[in-house]
Amino acid sequence: MEPINETTIRQLWESYLQGNTTLAEEQQLAAYFCEAQLPNDLLPYRALFRFFRTEAAVVPPESAPQKSVRFRRNAIRLLTPFMAAAAGVILFFALYRPANDPFIHYKDGQRLINREEAMQLAHQQLEQISIQIQRANNTMADKLEQVTNYTETINKYITK
């Protein structure tokens, strides 16, 4: 390896910024930035290499609970249908507009012509839908909590 001097470091730094350095060159950069006297224009990058060195030395404690990938997959699988349904409802109401009469609404088989009555009925129906969605979300939260508890129990036995 070349001796570490400012010219070499500047060349390595340019290569590093372009993503063209080897592991050995990056180690050489890290050693220089963490330990050498730096010119003022390179001084702000010292914190970056010190951060890398500090993070590389971190060892997670053994008592830390291990998150299960299976738990995340199950949570996504459980929530996906509800997210898709919500997106469908939002898209339907955002995109669907009757061409000539925006206030077409029927109640008991009769077409409502009064705009206020149609809006009031629509709000009531949206409130009912909102209540049903909230119930579904509560049910999903309960199921998700059950899956979490089950996963934590399994992880206790797997990690021992």
Residue 147 scores a pLDDT above 80: yes
- The pLDDT of residue 101: 54
User: How far apart (Å, rounded) are the C-alpha atoms in residues 110 and 87?
Assistant: 30
What is the per-residue pLDDT across 91-128, written as a single tens digit (0 to 9) for each? 887 777 655 555 566 777 777 777 787 788 888 888 99
b/e for 38-50, b at 16 or more Cβ within 10 A?
A: beeeeeeeeeebe
What is the per-residue pLDDT across 12-45, written as a single tens digit (0 to 9) for each? 888 888 888 898 888 888 888 887 788 888 888 8
